[in-house]
Amino acid sequence: MLPFRFVDRVKFIVERQLVKGAGFQLLVVGVFIGIISLVGGLLVLPFGGPHEDAGDAFWWAFLRLTDPGYLGDDAGNWQRLVSTILTISGYVVFMGTLVAILTRWLIAKMADLERGLTPVTLRNHIVVLGWTGQTLPLLAELLGSSGRMRRFLEKHDTNRLRLVVLSETASAAQVHELRNEPGIGRKARQIILRSGAAIQPDALQRVACLDASAVIVPSAAHEAGSLVTSDIETVKALLSIAAQARHLGAPLPFVVAEIQDMRKHPVIERAYPGEMEVVAGDATISRLMVQNILHPGLSEIYNELFTAGEGCEIYIRSGDSLAGMTLGELASQRARVIVLGILKPQGRGWNVQMPASSDIPIAAEDRVVMLARDYAETEPDSKSAPLPMIARGEPAIRSATATERVHRVLVLGWNRRVPSLISEFSSYSQLRFEVDIVSVVPARERQQEIARYLGEQSAVICRHVEADYMVEGELRRVGPLSYDSIMLLSSDRLASGEEADARAMVGYLQLEDLLSEGGPRPQLIMELSDPDNRHLLAGHQSEMMISPMIVSHVLAQVALRRELRVVLDELFTVGGAEIQFRNPHDYPLPASADFQVLEKVLAAKGEVALGVWRDQPDRHGHHVKLGPSRDEYLDLNPEDRLVVLCYS
* Cα distances (Å, whole numbers) of residue 346 to 255, 365, 399: 21, 11, 25
- Domain match, 75 and 156 both: no
pLDDT > 90 in the chain, percent: 12
C-alpha span between 543 and 641 (Å, rounded): 17
Higher-confidence residue: 198 or 222?
A: 198
Higher-confidence residue: 44 or 144?
A: 144
| Model confidence pLDDT, tens digit, residues 346-392 | 888 899 988 888 889 999 999 999 998 888 888 887 777 788 888 88
Are the CB atoms for 535 and 249 separated by under 8 Å? no
In a domain, 141, yes or no: yes
Q: What is the CATH number of the domain that holds 174?
A: 3.40.50.720
C-alpha span between 226 and 13 (Å, rounded): 45
- Domain match, 410 and 541 both: yes
C-alpha span between 344 and 610 (Å, rounded): 22
C-alpha 524: how far from chain center: 26
* Cα distances (Å, whole numbers) of residue 561 to 127, 256, 377, 556: 16, 11, 17, 9
| Model confidence pLDDT, tens digit, residues 4-40 | 577 777 777 766 666 666 677 777 777 777 777 777 7
**Confidence band of 557 (pLDDT split at 50, 70, 90):** confident
| Model confidence pLDDT, tens digit, residues 393-419 | 777 666 555 667 889 999 998 888 898
| Model confidence pLDDT, tens digit, residues 626-640 | 988 888 888 888 888
Please report how the helices 547-560 and 146-155 are oriented relative to each other, as an axis angle in degrees rounded to 10: 30
Quick one: pLDDT at residue 402? 60
In a domain, 486, yes or no: yes
**Confidence band of 2 (pLDDT split at 50, 70, 90):** very low
Question: What is residue 113's three-state secondary structure?
Answer: helix
DSSP letter string, 223-241: -TT-SS-HHHHHHHHHHHH
- Domain match, 176 and 235 both: yes
Domain count, the chain: 3
- Domain match, 139 and 266 both: yes
C-alpha span between 530 and 543 (Å, rounded): 16
Q: Determine whether 193 is exposed, middle or buried from the number of CB atoms within 10 Å of its CB (0-12, 13-18, 19+).
A: buried
**Confidence band of 52 (pLDDT split at 50, 70, 90):** low
- Domain match, 270 and 130 both: yes
Least confident of 156-160, 212-216, 341-345, 642-646: 156-160
Quick one: pLDDT at residue 202? 87
b/e burial code for range 263-275 (CB count within 10 A of at least 16 → b): ebeeebeebbeee
Q: What is the CATH number of the domain that holds 57?
A: 1.10.287.70
Answer yes or no: is pLDDT of 643 > 70. Answer: yes
- Domain match, 169 and 203 both: yes
Answer yes or no: is pLDDT of 1 > 50. Answer: no
Quick one: pLDDT at residue 554? 87
The pLDDT of 119-134, averaged and rounded, is: 87
- Domain match, 159 and 48 both: no
Least confident of 91-95, 304-308, 437-441, 504-508: 91-95
Answer yes or no: is pLDDT of 53 > 80. Answer: no
Structural domain ending residue among the three candidates 58, 93, 114? 114
**Confidence band of 226 (pLDDT split at 50, 70, 90):** low
**Confidence band of 610 (pLDDT split at 50, 70, 90):** very high
pLDDT > 70 in the chain, percent: 85
Kindly state the DSSP code that residue 375 receives in the 8-state scheme.
G
In a domain, 540, yes or no: yes
Answer yes or no: is pLDDT of 45 > 90. Answer: no
Answer yes or no: is pLDDT of 342 > 70. Answer: yes
- Domain match, 189 and 263 both: yes
The pLDDT of 111-128, averaged and rounded, is: 80
Kindly state the DSSP code that residue 200 receives in the 8-state scheme.
-
Quick one: pLDDT at residue 642? 92
- Domain match, 107 and 141 both: no
- Domain match, 419 and 541 both: yes
Quick one: pLDDT at residue 631? 84
Least confident of 58-67, 70-79, 149-158: 70-79
CB-CB neighbours of 200 under 10 Å: 15
pTM of the model: 0.78
Quick one: pLDDT at residue 369? 92
- Share the mean pLDDT of the chain: 82
The pLDDT of 182-205, averaged and rounded, is: 86
- Domain match, 93 and 193 both: no
Quick one: pLDDT at residue 57? 74
Range of the domain at 212: 126-274
Quick one: pLDDT at residue 253? 92
In a domain, 561, yes or no: no
Question: What is residue 128's three-state secondary structure?
Answer: strand
**Confidence band of 563 (pLDDT split at 50, 70, 90):** confident
In a domain, 584, yes or no: no
- Domain match, 133 and 219 both: yes
Structural domain ending residue among the three candidates 500, 524, 548? 548
The pLDDT of 176-205, averaged and rounded, is: 86
